[in-house]
Chains A and B, each alone.
Chain A
Amino acid sequence: MTMASDSGNLPGADAAPEDLRTATRQTSVYVYEAPLRIWHWINAAAIFVLCLTGYFIGSPPPSMQIAEATHQFVFGYIRFAHFAAGLILTVGFLGRIYWAIFGNHHARQLFYLPIFNGRWWSEVWFEIKWYLFLERAPKKYVGHNPLAQLAMFFFITLGVSFMIVTGLALYSEGLGHDSTLYTLFGWVFTVVGGNSHVVHTLHHLGMWWIVIFMIIHIYVAIREDIMSRQSIVSTMISGHRTFKDDRPD
């Protein structure tokens, strides 16, 4: 009620008195530029396809008898989708690194942890307490909060890098030992002791690492969108971080 009388411009022509009770004025900051947002959603789609097809590559679906083997390519298509999505993810990740260099400073958060900054660590601890219901209200952040930044770094920056490297190594086996890709990534097999089956197993575990991230990420994004003092989900769509109150920090 106070809002409406203070501002003079009504929130909308159809605003009822009970709507006006919850009306607030929101500040917003442009955080995530278009290339970063596009990367986020392409990356999300690629990861979805990769997890699904990757699982099937480890445990194929029931045998199908559609046509003669020569004319049937079911498992081939599953593997093709996996490789295509994997290469899209790889190119996207390289683009993301480019954008970390040439984009705004928020684009660098994924690749840099201020681990020598004591205040940063105390804010990580604050966020942990917020998730343990020990703090009444969360802090406001324009970019990622420190705990989110930490999680993004380990799950996405390191996790996706690991999946790209092991994935390209496995893919290079199909191309052959004389391929450029094998020359570039053959060392992966040496590191694990020589047997490429070990790389398959690690790549498989990596998938679950990413799945665990997805569960936490989606939950936390929705939860914080509702419970925190700022927008989360729409920020990755519009690029704007809006704050629900004007109290500092």
Chain B
Amino acid sequence: MSQIETFYDVMRRQGITRRSFMKYCSLTASALGLGPAFVPKIVHAMETKPRTPVIWVNGLECTCCSESFIRGSHPLAKDVVLSMISLDYSHTLMAAAGHAAEAALEETIQQYKGNYILAVEGNPPLNEDGMYCIVGGKPFVEQLRHAAKDAKAIISWGACASYGCVQAAKPNPTQATPVHKVITDKPIIKVPGCPPIAEVMTGVITYMLTFDRLPELDRQGRPAMFYGQRIHDKCYRRPHFDAGQFVEQWDDENARKGYCLYKVGCKGPTTYNACSTVRWNEGTSFPIQSGHGCIGCSEDGFWDQGSFYNRVTDLTQFGVEANADQVGLAAAGVVGAGVAVHAAVSALKSAQKKTQGQSMSQNEEV
């Protein structure tokens, strides 16, 4: 391990000035929500720590996580993160291919046993013994288990690795399974999203390298610093939500005015992510800012939560598609009709009883 260069060495070798390096460290500190006191710590870690080897494996996925990752927008992150970590195996980014690539994987596992981070993009399908996803002639699930065995920690990139995403949506024919349900004996950090935000990805890695531990995780295993609040909590359209001013239709005046997208199905109130603060593409925008509701892509099973354009989701358990209101209204209607009929019969019965009673008393009188 001692032969491996430190992050700082690598950065300097790439022509990055110390000034830029310091800037990077303070930016990273603020991105992670750390105070200025932590900047020297990050600097120190970067200057002294050997680069952490990372193995990046890809299962059933669309590579949007990699695409997002390489667009990390901090001035240096884009250039450095790839050098900062020692990305020893990554299909998408490595030059090697075929047997050479697989050999690199083996070599990294052997050389850094128990010290490397396994980054998983996508998930393994378990149906038909994993035959729906083959990597290097073997089912991906085998590669995943093999690489996970000696990993220090695992990062589940994106909704696929974290929750299953679209390939695990009902009826999930390939039985695509999130990583934490296959690997149960390693610390796993979930970084959901389809894809996750680039700065969130680099931020998580930087934190792990700097402090040599996992960031604080929430109940679901997501880093709390990025997934601790909902899109809704920091949405710039929130005043329109509280005011009760909504986009009613996509082409209406309210849409032009930039009112709240709640009524057209925005999932911001149920989605934990940093989009409304960190935003995308160098902080340019995020879905709501560009006029479309949040689809909740970083939430578990978001594909199975009905239409992206409804607030009250469709329930498919009843055979036909109907939402909670339709189901409830139908049930209440049936009960209400039953009550009306029952009341009518009750009235008739009691009227009948009364006439019988009267005729009886008349008979008695007679």
Residues of A with Cβ closer than 8 Å to B?
Answer: 55, 58-65, 69-70, 72-76, 78, 131, 133, 173-174, 176-178, 186, 189-190, 193-198, 200-201, 204-205, 207-209, 211-212, 215-216, 219, 223, 226-227
Sort A-B residue pairs by CB-CB distance and give the 7 closest, nearest first. Answer: A208-B328, A74-B244, A75-B244, A194-B300, A72-B243, A76-B242, A204-B324
**B157 partner residues in chain A, CB cutoff 8 A:** none
Q: Is the CB of A177 within 8 A of B300?
A: no
User: Given known contacts A194-B220, A201-B315, is B324 in contact with A58 (CB within 8 Å)?
Assistant: yes
Q: Is the CB of A61 within 8 A of B230?
A: no
Measured in the bound complex, the distance between the Cα atoms of B324 and A205 in whole Å is 6
**A194 partner residues in chain B, CB cutoff 8 A:** 163, 220, 299-301
Measured in the bound complex, the distance between the Cα atoms of B228 and A176 in whole Å is 8
Does residue B207 face the partner (Cβ distance < 8 Å to A)? Answer: no
Tell which of B163, B220, B296, B336 touches A197, judged by Cβ atoms closer than 8 Å: B296
Measured in the bound complex, the distance between the Cα atoms of B245 and A87 in whole Å is 26
Shortest CB distance A203–B (Å): 9
Does residue B302 face the partner (Cβ distance < 8 Å to A)? Answer: yes
Measured in the bound complex, the distance between the Cα atoms of B246 and A62 in whole Å is 8
| Chain B: CB-nearest residue to A189 | B219
Q: Is the CB of A211 within 8 A of B328?
A: yes
Does residue B78 face the partner (Cβ distance < 8 Å to A)? Answer: no
Measured in the bound complex, the distance between the Cα atoms of B254 and A69 in whole Å is 12
Q: Is the CB of B331 within 8 A of A208?
A: yes
Q: Is the CB of B244 within 8 A of A78?
A: yes
**A60 partner residues in chain B, CB cutoff 8 A:** 244, 246, 262-263
Q: Is the CB of B218 within 8 A of A177?
A: yes
| A-contacting 9-mer, from B79-87, B109-117, B145-153, B337-345 | B337-345
**A173 partner residues in chain B, CB cutoff 8 A:** 230, 269-270
Q: Is the CB of A215 within 8 A of B332?
A: yes
Shortest CB distance B267–A (Å): 7
**A133 partner residues in chain B, CB cutoff 8 A:** 345-346, 349
Measured in the bound complex, the distance between the Cα atoms of B315 and A204 in whole Å is 12
Tell which of A65, A69, A195 touches B301, judged by Cβ atoms closer than 8 Å: A195
**A178 partner residues in chain B, CB cutoff 8 A:** 228
Measured in the bound complex, the distance between the Cα atoms of B218 and A244 in whole Å is 62
Q: Is the CB of A205 within 8 A of B228?
A: no
Tell which of B230, B301, B312 touches A204, judged by Cβ atoms closer than 8 Å: B312
Q: Is the CB of A195 within 8 A of B305?
A: yes
Q: Is the CB of A64 within 8 A of B342?
A: no
Q: Is the CB of B245 within 8 A of A69?
A: yes
A-B contact pairs, 12 of them (CB 8 A): A58-B325, A73-B243, A75-B241, A75-B244, A177-B218, A189-B219, A194-B220, A204-B312, A205-B324, A208-B328, A209-B328, A219-B343
**B339 partner residues in chain A, CB cutoff 8 A:** 215-216, 219
**B241 partner residues in chain A, CB cutoff 8 A:** 75
Q: Is the CB of B301 within 8 A of A73?
A: no
User: Given known contacts A195-B301, A215-B332, A227-B346, is B220 in contact with A72 (CB within 8 Å)?
Assistant: no
**B244 partner residues in chain A, CB cutoff 8 A:** 60-61, 63-64, 72-76, 78
Residues from 304 to 363 in B contacting A, C-beta threshold 8 Å: 305, 311-313, 315, 324-325, 327-329, 331-332, 335-336, 339, 342-343, 345-346, 349-350
**B246 partner residues in chain A, CB cutoff 8 A:** 60, 63
Q: Is the CB of A62 within 8 A of B248?
A: yes
Q: Is the CB of A204 within 8 A of B325?
A: yes
B73-113 vs A, Cβ < 8 Å mask (1 yes, 0 no): 00000000000000000000000000000000000000000
Q: Is the CB of A219 within 8 A of B243?
A: no
Shortest CB distance A151–B (Å): 12
**B329 partner residues in chain A, CB cutoff 8 A:** 208
**B315 partner residues in chain A, CB cutoff 8 A:** 201
Tell which of B242, B245, B269, B302 touches A64, judged by Cβ atoms closer than 8 Å: B245
Q: Is the CB of A212 within 8 A of B332?
A: yes
Measured in the bound complex, the distance between the Cα atoms of B229 and A131 in whole Å is 52
Does residue B239 face the partner (Cβ distance < 8 Å to A)? Answer: yes
Q: Is the CB of B243 within 8 A of A197?
A: no
| Chain A: CB-nearest residue to B252 | A63
**A74 partner residues in chain B, CB cutoff 8 A:** 243-244
**A227 partner residues in chain B, CB cutoff 8 A:** 346, 350
Q: Is the CB of A197 within 8 A of B299?
A: yes
**A200 partner residues in chain B, CB cutoff 8 A:** 270
**A190 partner residues in chain B, CB cutoff 8 A:** 219-220
Measured in the bound complex, the distance between the Cα atoms of B163 and A172 in whole Å is 23
User: Given known contacts A60-B263, A69-B239, A195-B302, is B328 in contact with A205 (CB within 8 Å)?
Assistant: yes
| Chain B: CB-nearest residue to A223 | B346
